[in-house]
Amino acid sequence: MRSLLIALTLCLTICFGTAQALAQEPSGCDKFKWPLDKERATLTGSDLPKVASGSRIDWRLPFATIVSLVPLADANLPLAPERTPKSNASFAGFIQSPAPAKAATYKITLSSEGWIDVVQDGRRVQSLTSTGVRGCDGVRKSVKFELAPAPFTVQLSDIEADSVGLVISSE
């Protein structure tokens, strides 16, 4: 009986903690830290080109695309994700982008939940800041990175679906 009471208490504690965490996360397109109206309009459009994980993109920045992903174990990411994925059953992938015209801050925006790493000159670029909300059709997360005028790789991981919309735009 005591073990049943402990198990029930533990279950309620976990459920309450999860509900509290979700309740604290912002909801709605007007809750992002910075405007993402253009990125949202792009990601909810129907004309985005599709690329496979590992593709080298020849488009100049800014650009948008849908990236086809593979199971994390098959992704062959250039670097291990900075954050360990929540599930080994998640999807991952990467694209290689040409150099920006100049050093500047760029936003990488995703249509669904996931982790974004940027690799430039063989090293991980630390993010400057991020914003994310639930309940905004087309946009889930946006992260800012300071990029040098050199080619870079965008790594995506911990994504539940086998594709994700992505926009890279200047600040």
| pTM of the full structure | 0.83
* Residue 115 lies inside a defined structural domain of this protein: yes
* Residue 13 lies inside a defined structural domain of this protein: no
Residues 6 or more apart whose Cβ sits within 8 Å of residue 14: none
What total number of domains does the chain contain? 1
Percentage of the residues of the chain whose pLDDT score is greater than 70: 85
Which pLDDT tens digit goes with each residue over 41-85?
Answer: 999 988 899 999 999 999 999 999 999 999 999 999 999 999 998
Give the CATH number, domain containing residue 93: 2.60.120
The whole-angstrom separation of Cα 83 and Cα 19 is 23
| Strand-pair category, 50-52 with 63-68 | parallel
* Residue 8 lies inside a defined structural domain of this protein: no
* Residue 6 lies inside a defined structural domain of this protein: no
Evaluate if residue 40 carries a pLDDT over 90.
yes
The pLDDT assigned to 171 comes to 82
The whole-angstrom separation of Cα 33 and Cα 129 is 10
The pLDDT assigned to 26 comes to 78
The pLDDT assigned to 25 comes to 66
Domain that holds residue 84: 27-170
